[in-house]
Structure 1
Amino acid sequence: MRYRTTVMYMEIGCFVACLCGWMLVCSTLPTPFWSYSENSGVVITTADFYSNLWMDCLADNTGASACKNYPSMMALSVFLHTCRALAVCAVITGFFGGVLTLIGMKCTKIGGSEIANATVTFAAGITYLLSGLCGMITYSLWANKNITEFMDPLVMNQKYELGAAIFIGWGGSVALILGGAVLTYFSGKEVLSSSSRKRPQRPTSHVSGKTRRTYMLPASSSRMILVPPLLYEGRQSRTTRATTKTGQSDGRDNFV
């Protein structure tokens, strides 16, 4: 009972951690602070440049800002399409992971039996892991591109640094991965232990009016030994009939 209570509180803690991580990942999508660059000149011409998956923004020292969406979706690079797809997958899988966790947690009692709840929680942990991995790959690819272009002396275009959204996304992805890993471990352990306790039992069958006994080896072996008691009896009866026929032929010869 104490173990079940511990697992229940652990599931609640993992759900809260994954929910916070998913919210952090979602908050980074509309913000323009994925990449940051500052053009420092005289006071009048100082400007800040921001960009994210969807738009480029410009803010000057007077507080005025303007954002422009990318002109054509078909003209975007493969890198930007990949980052968009991974970010959207992270949000969608994180949502379904939360739904599955609410169904499979022990405190909600929605999934049904203990084994069914553990199975649903295991699926939720896998879904959270996928969400965290998608988010981590997205932010890592974006950060690697910015760092590579910033360190490359041959790049003459505007150079960007890492924005605040990248670090927020990394934190949310780590929370999703850790929470999903803990959920997967404990729920998978419970499912495996419950399945190992179950042993299939085969009913006894009747051959020629007599019972055939079935002996099963321990759970570590998958072999099954069938020992029908009729084999020895049939063999003994055939030996007896052969001996009787031999005795009758000997008696006939002696008589002659």
Structure 2
Amino acid sequence: VYTQRQKMVFLTTKIMQRTALFVTFGGLVTSLVTTFLPLWKTMNSDLNEVENWYSGLWHTCLYTEEVGIQCKAYESVLGLPMDLQISRVLMSVSIGTGGLAMFAAFPGLEGVEMCVGQPGLKRGLLILSGMLSWVSGLTTLVPVSIVAYTTVVEFWDEGFPDVMPRWEYGEAMFSGWFGGLALVIGGTLFFVAVCMRDYEQRPPSVPNSPQVKQRTQHYLKTEVL
């Protein structure tokens, strides 16, 4: 009994809401950093091992031991590959919807002196935040997966000579997957918090069932005897 009470104390609606907000915020920051990192793809030539090439959504970079890292923005948007164009749009949508999810969730939290006396509005804001978090997570996972797929296809393309260097996964690919999953999990936790709140506010059950009446009568008879 003590263990069950302890779990109920630690797992409250308020804590679940804060956890959902924290996870969503972490996923949003990770997706934001991933969008502007030039580490989506990396390439190292066997002929010149001191040069490392990096490619992102907005610019490419060259790292050498003598000069360091030098980045250059893409000259033409229309000249970019289709996967990078789609990824730019989707990652921008992800950042926008993730930011809206944070703004919608904050007034709906318990303990926040906003929308006081309007539990229906608070509930609706948390549901909206959960949906926006899901959209933000999916629009992060999709472009990262598209770029990963094209990288794998180009890496194993037999039309390229074996001597020619090929692009491989960069660190930003993994941070993008992590950020997208965090946003999806955060949105799910918002829905869990709403369900927990609905369960706490449900009216207490009235003991009018026949089984309860039978037990009560049996108890009274035993007490009289």
TM-score (norm 2): 0.77
Tell me the equivalent position of 1:223: none
1:9 maps to which residue?
15
Query: Do structure 1's residue 184 and structure 2's residue 191 form an aligned pair?
Result: yes
- Mapped partners of 2:160, 2:97: distance in 1: 37
Q: Distance in 2 between matches of 1:11 and 1:186?
A: 6
Letter in 2 for 1:116: L
Contact 1:56/1:70 (<8 A) preserved:
yes
Q: Residues 79 and 195 from structure 1, CA distance in 2 versus in 1: closer, same or farther, beyond 3 angstroms?
A: farther
CA positional deviation for 1:56: 1.4
CA contact (8 A) 2:40 2:55 kept: yes
Q: Distance in 2 between matches of 1:193 and 1:137?
A: 37
1:57 aligned residue: 61
- Name the CA distance, whole Å, in 1 between partners of 2:128 and 2:199: 14
Q: SS state of the match for residue 50, structure 1?
A: strand
The answer to whether structure 1 residue 133 and structure 2 residue 138 are counterparts is yes
Aligned CA RMSD, in angstroms, stands at 2.6
Match in the other structure for 1:173? 180
SS in 1 for 2:100: helix
Are 1:28 and 2:34 matched, yes or no?
A: yes
Runs of 4+ in 1 over 6 A off after TM superposition: 191-196
Tell me how far 1:178 sits from its aligned partner.
Answer: 0.5
**What is aligned with 2:121?**
116
What CA distance in whole angstroms lies between the structure 2 residues aligned with 1:98 and 1:107?
16
Query: Are the aligned partners of 1:111 and 1:120 in contact in 2 as well (CA < 8 Å)?
Result: no
Alignment of 1:92 onto 2:111: no
Distance in 1 of aligned mates of 2:193 and 2:26: 21
Identity across the alignment (%):
22
Do the aligned residues in 2 keep the contact of 1:122 with 1:188 (CA within 8 Å)? no
Tell me the distance in 1 between the aligned counterparts of 2:201 and 2:26.
Answer: 31
Q: Which has the higher contact order (CA 8 A, sep 6+)?
A: 2
**Mapped partners of 1:123, 1:90: distance in 2:** 15
Q: Deviations over 1:195-247 (max 9, x none)?
A: 99xxxxxxxxxxxxxxxxxxxxxxxxxxxxxxxxxxxxxxxxxxxxxxxxxxx
Are the counterparts in 2 of residues 40 and 47 from structure 1 also a CA contact under 8 Å?
A: no
Q: Quick one: distance in 2 between partners of 1:134 and 1:89?
A: 7
Question: Does the CA-based 8 Å contact 1:118-1:188 persist in structure 2?
Answer: no
Q: Any unmatched runs of 5+ in structure 2?
A: 1-7, 204-225
The structure that is strand-richer by fraction is 1
Give the C-alpha shift of residue 116 in structure 1: 1.4
Q: What's the TM-score, normalizing by structure 1? A: 0.68
Deviation per CA, 1:109-146, whole angstroms, max 9, x where unpaired? 31232221111110011001100000010111111111
Alignment partner, residue 74 of structure 1:
78
Partner of 1:49, secondary structure, is: strand
Unpaired runs of 5+ residues, structure 1, are 197-256
Q: How far does the alpha carbon of each residue in 1:62-97 deviate from its partner, in whole angstroms, 9 at most, with x for none?
A: 242222221112333332211100000000100010
Q: Note if contact 1:127-1:180 (Cα within 8 Å) is conserved in structure 2.
A: yes
Aligned positions of 1:141-180 closer than 5 A: 141-156=146-161, 158-180=165-187
Larger radius of gyration: 1
